[in-house]
Amino acid sequence: MVEIERKFLVISDVFIDESFAQKRIVQAYLSSVPERTVRIRIKADKGFITIKGKSNDSGTTRLEWEKEISLPEADSLLSICESGMIDKVRYEVKVGNHVIEVDVFSKENEGLILAEIELQSENEIFQKPTWLGEEVTNDERFYNAYLSKKPFKTW
């Protein structure tokens, strides 16, 4: 139930040709407070509810609990979420022993491309592709809950 993740800006669209899967994701928040975010997500044709705790000081580690829910449940819960919807396409790219998820945001966050990699430990070494840019793991502006309130286009 612990997520260890690092985030990076993406500086090239080369990852698209390297990806092995892509899915559209729409999500919003029942609660976006940092101590406990509660997210409702539709990923392709599946619904999910996710609860995340506050990140540690480095921004890499936090409690995460996720459960698949039905599409009608997800649609219903999305209708009562806080304002601000995230809409993005997620590309999955195998790099070394890891899968890097690259999110290409649209609508209010259009122009933003972020990559995330989940790790087994905070200090785990991983292969960095050339299209990875600046690390933004500890920059709360790049958290989806923040982007739902203060979209990238308004920065």
Catalytic residues: 29
Determine the Cα–Cα distance for residues 48 and 27; give it in Å rounded to an integer: 9
Other CB atoms within 10 A of residue 21 CB: 12
Question: Taking Cα atoms as reference points, which of 82, 59, 81, 85 lies closest to residue 151?
Answer: 85
Q: Which region holds residue 76: left if phi is over 0, alpha if psi is between -120 and 50, else beta? A: alpha
Residues pairing with 61 in the sheet = 4
Determine the Cα–Cα distance for residues 56 and 60; give it in Å rounded to an integer: 7
